[in-house]
Chain A
Amino acid sequence: MISIQHLSKTFYAGRREIRAADDVSFKVAPGEVYGLLGPNGAGKTTTMRMILGLLKPDKGYAEIAGHRSDQQPDAVKRQVGFVSAAAGVYQWLTGREMLGFFGEIYGLSEDEAKTRISELSAILDLSGFIDQGCATLSTGQKQRLSLARALIHDPPVMILDEPTLGLDVIGSQVIFNYIDILRERDKSIILCTHRLEQAQRVCNRFGLMHQGKKVLTGSLDDLQKQTGLSDLVEMFIDLIEDESVAPIEQVGCNHVKE
């Protein structure tokens, strides 16, 4: 469903040359949650933006459901539900109005949008605040609303960039539980998060990025074999401490269900 091939992007700021993504490749099959992990500034968000067609890659391409994001960005965007770290809600609209608006933008009729809003409202427990102005919502409520917005058109692919940022334990739990449900529904999901314990639970495979490069990739078992460490937190700390770590060849692609 998702195929990423050699994505590269460099930014320039005066003298500085920032390699935000350097030859990043991976695939995600339906029903699979791919955890794209790494410290701040590793290049995860840039990679996600390139996948979605928001950023033009210097090299490489991303393909979603047969459409390349650099060539058919609209077709790609129709297949994707995107949640970013900034909840991105319209402060002067109510939750219902915002969801209705995005429903129509994604081609739902008014009735379809209404039905879909009530379904999502029930699943994500939005009913208590869906008719409130978004400016008055808490961070957790905004993030749930944002997830509902990304799901309004029932996309086959979800790109979740730090969906639990700023949420408390309960709020995060709601989101991760829902990711589990989405996987059961055969969605292809790319998840970028710093909640490593939760990621370890919900993700099938992982790509650990550092300084724009994918340095570790594979299932938890693969990563444990490669690093000799037992969990993601240890691997993560090891990765940051060992600045000299060299990117390794992609492994575990045989796990991809295609």
Chain B
Amino acid sequence: MSKNDNSNPNEQAKKPVRSGFRLTRLAQKELKETLRDRRTIVTLVLMPLLVYPTLSLIFKTFLLSNASLFSTGELPEIRVVYSGNSSRAEADFVFAKIGERIKFLNDKTADKQEALPRPDDENKGNGLPSMGSGLTGSGLEGEEADFPPWHLMRWQFIPLNASPSLADYVESGEADLGIIFELNDPTRQKLGNFTIVSRQDAFSLAAAEHLAGELEKANLAEREFRLQMAGISIEPAVNVARKLIGEPMEQSSSSAFPLASLVPLILVLMTITGAVYPAIDLTAGERERGTLETLMAAPLPRVGILVAKFIAVLTVAIFTALLNLIGMFVTIWVFQLDQQFGGGIFDFRVMIQIFLLLILFGAFFSALLLAVTSFAKSFKEAQVYLIPIIILSLGPGLMAMAPGISLDGVNAVVPMVNILLLARDVINNEVILVPSFVAVVSTLVYTYLAICLAARIFGSDSILYSGEGSLAEMFQRPTRVNVVVPLAATLFCLAMLFPLNFLSIGFLGRLPAETTADLSFRYMMMGVFTCLAFLVLPALVAQHQNTCFAGGFGLNRPRAVFLLAAILLGISLWPLVMTMTEGWHAAYGELFGSEKQEQWHAKLIETTSEQVARIRMVSPLVILFAFSVIPAVCEEWFFRGMLLRSLLKWNSVWKSILISALVFGSFHVISNSVIALDRLLPSTLIGVMLGYLAFKSDSIWPGVILHSLNNGIVIFLAYYQPDLMNYSWFPGEDDPIPFLWALVGLIVATSGILLTRFARRSDLPGHSANATIEPGEVL
């Protein structure tokens, strides 16, 4: 033992340490370790080197196998090797003449006004003899014939001088096509015989097909030329004209479309691939090796450790993105795919913007990966969690490739879709400021939320030290009685609601037509599904979790003051919501352009009118239950009962209320599988109000009253609108909500809010102590 060990006991241990420095040092360590790992190097360096050349070959084959692509303006280069019984100069001259004829024909088709060249002009103009005059003259004198490119084509003609044979050239892939010609007609009326040699693959076959077509064109041109020379009318028997009707398909740039959408998707997927390994290794991997506990035992804040790991994962993701970007652009350039982008992709600014978008997406996905991998106890477990996530992320990726999709409305806030669409717009130079801004800001918000989630999961007791646990244990009924439903069970319930929602819509669609034609039956079935999803399923889960219903769902008897507040709010919130919706429509117009807003608004009016017309065909009693009572009871049961009360066990009051309200709002956005974003804000705000009322009253019943009054008033105003419009005070169909209504609504709603705010929190005698929950109370 050294002197030091004894002379200054604990001196260093007590020294304050700058936490910023320590975290930087930690991030450096994490990065150093990750970058030394050969598995990182494989994804970082080898993948771009292997993937892009392979992809470009596949893409080129795909591109050329699609015959229609040959008719577009930009064509890939086709390598043609040729040989025959004549000299190279003679052959070159023949190709030149064919090219001229095709050009003549194309020009004639393109511009009917242009006069046909006269034979005399041609002879005088370039000094070359016509095809009909035979292959003699000055064109054959030169060593290298001046080879004009065939119109709209990019051929590379390779003369064959020695062995290997032409077929070998084509077969080995050194050439895409071969032409064997015999120029043996002394009259030169017939240039010769051409045999096109091709392989059996799609690329070579398509090229051969195209060449044969072009040669046919040359024959046609020659025929026409000779007829003209002989003074024979060449008026066609049938004149064919085409006329286009209707609106052109919304397509930003026809030639740029496929690659401009594909490039961002590939880059994003590769960035994900780069981030996956370090995310697993620095969390689940470290835990498996025992180094995570060592790190947690050091005087570093848990969040700090996570942030350092996030920085390391993000840095690797950025390196991956950069190397992939370089790899992709080099490949595009080498394989001459850039013409598909109209050349714009090689703009330095475009590359920088795409790189910045990849950094942004990398940040979001790194945080998401860390949240998931922090949950895993081993490397293998983390991989099991990540595989579905990566497969699921292909969904938005493919969605962003759909033709006609644009960066506006909901697309601007859908994670991954927004970044992919923005990157596509950057490549096509079609960026619109506001939706792009929304896309960037929303991704930043998602990144922050994902980091918060990861910080919450990372290193928590239950994750770090809980046993592996079997699947059977997860579904076993706990022996102890729960005061509220455990959060994990509530989240399971929530996760089940989405597929149940879609299933119920699908089920309604599959019912026999004669039953669904009966609207009363249809609405009653909707009510049944709502009950099953929001009431029965949560009740079963609560029962399984050994939770008493009074506590788990807030079934306590509320105080009268909260019932009064609920009535005041129930009758006054709707004009405010309608005013807010109108404001949102106006804001939508400002953000995404008035034209889009008008289209969207018209569609909304049309849909709403159809719905209202259908509702009026049904008895008001059915409507009351289907649209007011059942949704109110069921949704309060789940959102303010089960969800809010589960959240309150682990979170602060406002955080719990906000989360439950956002989930509530999101459910209203996805209604009848049509995404209606205008419902998000009003529904979320009503969710906040309902949550606050449920918290203060410690009961869901005031919320049920508020909810059913609000829904009931809105639905019956629509139901009786034709009758009500007879009254002068009732606004017309397209009129906004009268200012006075909104003002009265505001005053009454404020009274309701104040009443709730200043009323004492419910602790009536008779309330079960177990049924009353306090925020932040831990089970």
Contacts and interface: CB of A to CB of B under 8 A. Distances in A.
Interface of A: 11-18, 46, 49, 52, 54-56, 74-75, 77-80, 82, 84-93, 97, 101-102, 104-108, 112, 115-116, 119, 122-123, 146, 149, 153-156, 181, 184-186
B147 to A, nearest CB: 59
B36 interface: yes
Given A88-B291, A90-B33, A123-B1, A78 B13 contact: yes
Contact of A74 (B34, B299, B477): B299
Nearest to A182: B1
Nearest to B15: A107
B6 A185 contact: yes
Contacts of A149: 294
Contacts of B5: 119, 154, 185
Interface string B1-40: 1101110111111111100011001100100111011000
A16 B12 contact: no
23 contacts: A13-B466, A13-B467, A13-B473, A15-B477, A15-B479, A54-B297, A82-B294, A82-B297, A86-B291, A88-B290, A91-B289, A97-B32, A101-B25, A104-B22, A105-B22, A106-B13, A106-B299, A107-B16, A116-B4, A154-B9, A154-B12, A155-B13, A185-B5
Contacts of B13: 78-79, 106-107, 153-156
Nearest to B460: A56
Interface string B278-295: 000000000001110110
B291 A89 contact: yes
Contacts of B32: 92-93, 97
Nearest to B466: A11
A166 B212 CA distance: 76
Nearest to A55: B461
Contacts of B466: 11, 13
**Number of contact residues on B: which range applies?**
35 or more
B472 interface: yes
Contacts of B10: 79, 154-156
A153 B12 contact: yes
Contacts of A186: 9
A184 B11 CA distance: 18
A156 B25 contact: no
B29 A93 contact: yes
Contacts of B15: 107
A88 B293 contact: yes
Contacts of A14: 469-470, 472-476, 478
Given A105-B299, A153-B12, A86 B289 contact: yes
Among all A-B residue pairs, the 6 with the closest Cβ atoms: A86-B290, A14-B473, A107-B17, A14-B476, A88-B294, A92-B36
Interface string B453-481: 00000000100111101101111111110
Nearest to B478: A15
A46 to B, nearest CB: 8
B300 interface: yes
Nearest to A49: B465
B390 interface: no
Given A15-B478, A74-B301, A106-B17, 17 more contacts: A15-B477, A17-B480, A54-B296, A79-B13, A82-B294, A88-B293, A92-B32, A92-B33, A92-B37, A93-B36, A101-B26, A107-B13, A112-B12, A153-B13, A155-B13, A156-B13, A186-B9
A154 B1 CA distance: 11
B297 to A, nearest CB: 4
A137 to B, nearest CB: 13
Contacts of B37: 92
B707 to A, nearest CB: 35
Contacts of A82: 294, 297
B392 interface: no
B298 interface: yes
Nearest to A98: B29
A101 B21 CA distance: 12
A185 B1 contact: yes
Contacts of B36: 92-93
Interface in B466-510: 466-467, 469-470, 472-480
A122 B25 CA distance: 26
A108 B298 CA distance: 13
Tell me which of A84, A108, A112, A154 has the highest count of chain B C-beta atoms within 10 A of its own C-beta.
Answer: A154
A119 B469 CA distance: 44
**Interface SS of chain A: helix, strand, loop or mixed?**
mixed
Contacts of B469: 13-14
Interface string B535-566: 00000000000000000000000000000000
A64 B589 CA distance: 63
A131 to B, nearest CB: 15
Nearest to B462: A11
Given A13-B466, A17-B479, A107-B15, A80 B297 contact: yes
A101 B26 CA distance: 8
Given A78-B299, A105-B26, A181-B1, A88 B465 contact: no
Contact of A90 (B291, B296, B477): B291
A77 B298 contact: yes
Nearest to B468: A13
B16 to A, nearest CB: 7
A198 B369 CA distance: 45
A247 B472 CA distance: 33
A105 B25 contact: yes
B694 to A, nearest CB: 28
B478 A87 contact: no
A88 B294 CA distance: 6
A255 B40 CA distance: 55
A115 B25 contact: no
A108 B294 CA distance: 18
A56 B461 contact: yes
A146 B291 CA distance: 10
Given A55-B461, A78-B14, A185-B1, A101 B29 contact: yes
A84 B290 contact: yes
A11 B467 contact: yes
Contact of A77 (B29, B34, B297, B470): B297
B367 to A, nearest CB: 23
A119 B2 contact: yes
Contacts of A181: 1
Contacts of A115: 4
A77 B296 CA distance: 9
B522 to A, nearest CB: 42
B489 to A, nearest CB: 12
Contact of B298 (A49, A106, A122): A106
Contacts of B480: 17
A217 to B, nearest CB: 25
Contacts of B11: 154
Nearest to B473: A14
A116 B469 CA distance: 43
Contacts of B8: 154
A199 B662 CA distance: 57
Contacts of B1: 123, 181, 184-185
A16 B473 contact: yes
Interface in B27-65: 29, 32-34, 36-37
A16 B480 CA distance: 10
A207 B36 CA distance: 44
Interface string B688-715: 0000000000000000000000000000
A108 B12 contact: yes
